[in-house]
């Protein structure tokens, strides 16, 4: 018989001074199924054997031979090891019972007894001892765990008297456990609640402990202990000293405030110094560009070009660092104002047109007609993002095209900048958006840049609630997508498809443009406006062609197409519209009366006005191009904007600058006049000053200079 498992018998030690009784007891135990490991007659011997053999149970007679009786022997065994003892005796007097209870025996069998009674008592004693052993092990585990943790733990009974306290609690309150047992928890742990929860947790609170021995701030929680019937049988208080953490937080707050102040001072310094840096740089840029355009030898022109390019790079660097510092300091603000969408796209391209066209890159703007004409947002910051992306596209593209597309998503804008450049490996997509990171640092000298442009662009987009993503692969070009959640202005229509051009129905328009995307865009626009587009194709260096210039109402070409494919356009009487790249020298056959020059990317509304003017036989000087005798003296590739007449009126008649003043357009007019009146001192000298002020974008000084123009200047210009 066993209570441990089915394959192991319980081992029992018999302590009995009468041999006959002991033998009878042994036989009964073996018959039941127990293993008897020994028999002792004296108490002293029983203690020694029990400690040595470690039986599962001791059957102990109370009155034994020798100096130690059974009760004393049981007590000695209990002090040495945990072995259950069951008394087997004939004595039932109160004195003997009281002595036996002190030893916490596991049973008391009265002689004579029955075997069944003996078996039940033994089984219950062994089972009870196993349960107590498990409970003791759990207690040791719990106490070891509580002793190891860095929080103080105190438990109390339902009446608030302390029952347990771990070593950390004893250390924190500087009191010994034995001094606190039975004391009221409120006197042992005098908590003063600060009345605030910690980290949003209602059961974790902040307070103070104040005793005669110590005082410190604590974070604490109190939980009730409930039994299986959900009755409260006590409470557990867990607390920790947070004086170190509070001191650290105070130091951290001081450091934060100091850092914020340093950042504020830095931003203020950068803001103040930026004006001091940018003003002379703008002067250097203006003067160097004017020197490049003046009559000088090629070596001097190259020196001035280096000055201009270096100054422009330095100015861009200053602007990027300023924006980065503003973002870091949290001082950059996003405006929410109505702005015109299509002009914003066109202006975004202006800063990169010359670099792009110098490399022979085509440029294209494609708009979604469903997009509202006006949106609510920060036009300047959106242009900054697009300029950064377009600048990178031009920088890393040596041949092909840079394209800017707009797609309206109903609840926001999607702007896509794509190129045919060197591309980006997929594993570098996130890397290039990190601060001061470049795709290939070894090529920094070749391409330039600080590694801040994309980082700043993404942060600005995120400040607007949007994002920037990229798709690309090496040598396959790149596509950057800017998604911005912008709302339409309340009183705005859609960009829409422009209505048919008056007189365009049945008109034949010949398109001789090298770039397929530009050809397709021109075809789309012409069909929408009622004209009949026809693609002119000719084998390079041959006379074979499909389509001819004869009978055409209008010819649209890119200039280089003619230079590469023959002189058929020299002989046509049809008006010519040249889609040119800025700064390109056009072939001689295009320098004639009736040529209208449009600079890439083609502006939809300007092209519309040009087509309308040509097909109705009117001058297009007000539409954005140059046609007829009026501008036959201008240099190849010059752009004459529709606002030119107004600018000339401003110069000759004075007055105030209008609200939609454009420094870029005004500068182009001034440069054209400077070249036309080269050598005429009365005109050239004032123009020089005006160009410099225009490049500084100094509105107030420019207005004063215009109002103070000398009479000789106006007379010569009128003359």
- In DSSP notation, 306-328 reads HHHHHHHHHHHHHHHHHHHHHHH
Q: Where a domain ends, among 145, 163, 188?
A: 145
pLDDT at 198: 54
Do 199 and 274 reside in the same domain of the chain?
Answer: no
CA distance 415 to 460: 14
Q: Is 491 exposed, middle or buried (0-12, 13-18, 19+ CB in 10 A)?
A: exposed
Q: How far apart are CA 200 and CA 464, in angstroms?
A: 30
85 in the same domain as 60: yes
Pick the closest to residue 45 from 68, 22, 21, 25 (CA basis): 68
- With respect to residue 500, please indicate whether it lies within any of the assigned structural domains: no
pLDDT at position 6, please?
A: 52
CATH number at residue 230: 3.30.450.20
Rounded Cα distance, 642 and 665, in Å = 10
Q: Does residue 1 belong to any structural domain of this protein?
A: no
92 and 79 belong to one structural domain: yes
* DSSP helix/strand/coil, 467: strand
Residue 325 shares a structural domain with residue 375: no
Write down the pLDDT at residue 565: 47
Structural domain count of the chain: 6
Which stretches does DSSP call E strand in 106-231? 107-110, 152-156, 162-165, 191-198, 201-210, 215-226
Largest CA distance in the chain: 152
- Collapsing DSSP to helix, strand or coil, 635 comes out as coil
Burial code (b: 16+ CB inside 10 Å, e: under 16) for 353-381 equals bebbbeeebbbbbbbeeebbbbbbbbbeb
CATH of the domain at 299: 1.10.287
The pLDDT assigned to 539 comes to: 45
Is position 3 within any domain? no
d(CA 371, CA 375): 9
CA 614 to chain centre: 52
Q: Name the residue range of residue 669's domain.
A: 644-718
Q: Are 154 and 165 in contact (CB under 8 A)?
A: yes
- Asked if 668 contacts 641 with a C-beta cutoff of 8 angstroms, the reply is yes
- Cα–Cα distance, 219 to 204 (Å, whole number): 7
Residues 380 and 484 in one domain: yes
Claim to verify: residue 668 and residue 692 sit in the same structural domain: yes
Say if residue 364 is in the same domain as residue 484: yes
Residue 5 within a domain: no
Where a domain ends, among 212, 241, 270?
241
Decide if 162 is inside a domain: yes
SS3 state at 712: helix
pLDDT along the chain (719 residues), means of 10: 62 92 92 93 92 94 89 91 91 88 89 90 92 87 82 91 90 87 88 62 78 84 89 91 90 90 76 72 76 68 76 77 75 87 88 84 92 91 91 90 93 92 85 73 56 85 92 87 92 84 83 89 91 73 46 78 54 75 62 68 87 70 36 30 48 48 69 71 76 72 76 65
Residues 451 and 386 in one domain: yes
16 backbone dihedrals φ, ψ, rounded to 5°: -150, 130
Q: For a pLDDT cut of 70, what percent of the chain falls above it?
A: 79
436: left (phi over 0), alpha (psi -120 to 50) or beta: left
Computed over every residue of the chain, the mean pLDDT equals: 79
Measured CA angle at 662 (ends 466, 457), to 5 deg? 20
- What's 8's DSSP letter? B
pLDDT of residue 455: 87
Give the residue from 567, 595, 627 where a domain finishes: 627
Predicted confidence at residue 26, as pLDDT, reads: 93
Whether 482 and 348 map to the same domain: the answer is yes
Q: Report helix, strand or coil for 594.
A: coil
Res 591: pLDDT: 52
**Could you give the CA distance from residue 627 to residue 594 in angstroms, rounded to a whole number?**
5
Distance, CA of 203 to chain centre: 34
Please answer whether residues 526 and 513 qualify as being in contact, where contact means their C-beta atoms are separated by less than 8 angstroms. Answer: no
**125 shares a domain with 183:** no
The reported pLDDT for the residue numbered 439 is 66
What are the distances in angstroms from CA 513 to CA 147, 159, 400, 435, 531? Answer: 86, 97, 14, 41, 17
Residues linked to residue 206 through DSSP beta bridges, in sequence order: 196, 219
Domain with residue 607: its CATH number is 3.40.50.2300
% of the chain beyond a pLDDT of 90? 28
Residues 159 and 131 in one domain: no
Beta carbons of 171 and 154 less than 8 angstroms apart:
no
- Residue 697 has a CB neighbour count (10 Å cut-off) of 13
Q: Detail the DSSP E strand segments found in 360-431.
A: 362-366, 374-377, 401-408, 413-419
Side-chain half-sphere exposure of 506, counting CA atoms within 13 A: 1
In terms of residues, how long is the chain?
A: 719
- pTM beyond cutoff 0.75: no
**Does residue 4 form part of some domain?**
no
Asked if the structure places residue 78 within a domain, the reply is yes
Residues 236 and 255 in one domain: no
Residues 21, 23, 26, 32, CA torsion sign: negative
Cis peptide before 112 (omega within 30 of 0): yes
Q: Which pair of structure tokens corresponds to residue 498?
A: 């422009």
204 occurs within a structural domain? yes
């Amino acid at each position: 018989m066993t209570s441990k498992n089915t394959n192991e018998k319980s081992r029992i030690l018999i302590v009995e001074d009468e041999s006959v009784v002991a033998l009878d007891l042994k036989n009964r135990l073996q018959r039941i199924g127990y293993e008897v490991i020994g028999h002792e007659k004296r108490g002293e011997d029983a203690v020694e054997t029990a400690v040595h053999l470690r039986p599962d149970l001791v059957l102990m007679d109370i009155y034994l031979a020798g100096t130690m009786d059974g009760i004393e022997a049981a007590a000695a065994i209990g002090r040495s090891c945990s072995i259950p003892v069951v008394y087997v005796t004939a004595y039932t007097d109160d004195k003997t019972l009281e002595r036996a209870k002190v030893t916490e025996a596991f049973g008391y069998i009265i002689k004579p007894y029955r075997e069944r009674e003996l078996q039940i008592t033994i089984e219950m004693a062994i089972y009870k001892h196993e349960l107590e052993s498990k409970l003791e092990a759990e207690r040791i585990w719990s106490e070891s765990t509580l002793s190891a943790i860095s929080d103080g733990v105190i438990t109390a009974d339902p009446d608030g008297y302390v029952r347990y306290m771990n070593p950390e609690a004893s250390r924190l309150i500087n009191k010994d456990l034995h001094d606190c047992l039975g004391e009221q928890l409120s006197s042992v742990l005098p908590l003063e609640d600060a009345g605030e929860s910690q980290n949003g947790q209602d059961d974790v609170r902040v307070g103070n402990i104040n005793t005669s021995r110590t005082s410190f701030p604590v974070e604490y929680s109190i939980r009730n202990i409930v039994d299986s019937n959900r009755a409260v049988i006590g409470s557990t208080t867990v607390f920790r000293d947070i004086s170190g953490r509070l001191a650290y937080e105070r130091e951290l707050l001081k450091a934060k405030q100091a850092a914020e102040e340093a950042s504020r001072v830095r931003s203020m310094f950068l803001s103040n110094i930026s004006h001091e840096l940018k003003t002379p740089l703008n002067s250097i840029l203006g003067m160097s560009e004017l020197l490049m355009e003046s009559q000088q030898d090629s070596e001097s022109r190259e020196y001035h070009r280096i000055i201009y390019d270096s100054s422009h790079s330095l100015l861009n660097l200053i602007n990027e660092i300023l924006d980065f510092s503003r973002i870091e300091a949290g001082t950059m603000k996003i405006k929410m104002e109505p702005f015109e969408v299509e002009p914003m796209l066109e202006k975004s391209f202006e800063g990169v047109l010359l670099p792009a066209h110098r490399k022979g890159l085509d440029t294209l703007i494609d708009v979604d007609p469903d997009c509202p004409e006006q949106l609510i947002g920060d036009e300047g910051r959106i242009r900054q993002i697009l300029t950064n992306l377009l600048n990178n596209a031009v920088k890393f593209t040596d041949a092909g095209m840079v394209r800017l597309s707009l797609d309206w998503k109903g609840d926001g804008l999607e702007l896509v900048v794509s190129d045919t450049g060197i591309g980006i490996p997929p594993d570098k997509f996130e890397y290039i958006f990190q601060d001061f990171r470049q795709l290939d640092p070894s090529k920094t000298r070749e391409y330039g840049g600080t590694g801040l442009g994309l980082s700043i662009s993404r942060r600005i987009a995120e400040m607007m609630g949007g994002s920037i993503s990229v798709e690309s692969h090496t040598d396959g070009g790149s596509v950057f997508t800017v998604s911005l959640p912008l709302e339409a202005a309340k009183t705005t229509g859609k960009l829409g498809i422009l209505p048919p051009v008056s007189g365009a129905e049945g008109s034949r328009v010949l398109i001789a443009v090298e770039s397929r995307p530009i050809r397709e865009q021109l075809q789309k626009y012409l069909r929408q406006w009622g004209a009949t587009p026809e693609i002119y194709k000719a084998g390079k260096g041959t006379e074979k062609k499909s389509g001819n210039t004869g009978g055409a109402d209008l010819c649209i070409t890119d200039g280089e197409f003619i230079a590469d494919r023959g002189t058929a356009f020299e002989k046509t009487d049809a008006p010519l519209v040249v889609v040119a790249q800025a700064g390109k020298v056009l072939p001689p056959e295009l320098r004639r009366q009736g040529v209208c020059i449009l600079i890439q990317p083609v502006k939809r509304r300007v092209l519309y006005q040009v087509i309308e003017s040509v097909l109705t036989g009117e001058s297009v000087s007000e539409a954005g191009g140059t046609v007829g005798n009026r501008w036959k003296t201008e240099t190849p590739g010059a752009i004459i904007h529709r606002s030119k007449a107004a600018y000339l009126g401003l110069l000759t008649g004075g007055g105030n600058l209008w609200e939609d003043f454009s420094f870029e357009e005004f500068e182009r007019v001034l440069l054209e006049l400077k070249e036309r009146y080269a050598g005429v001192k009365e005109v050239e000298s004032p123009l020089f000053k005006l160009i410099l002020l225009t490049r500084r974008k100094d509105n107030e000084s420019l207005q004063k200079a215009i109002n103070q123009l000398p009479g000789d200047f106006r007379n010569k210009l009128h003359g």
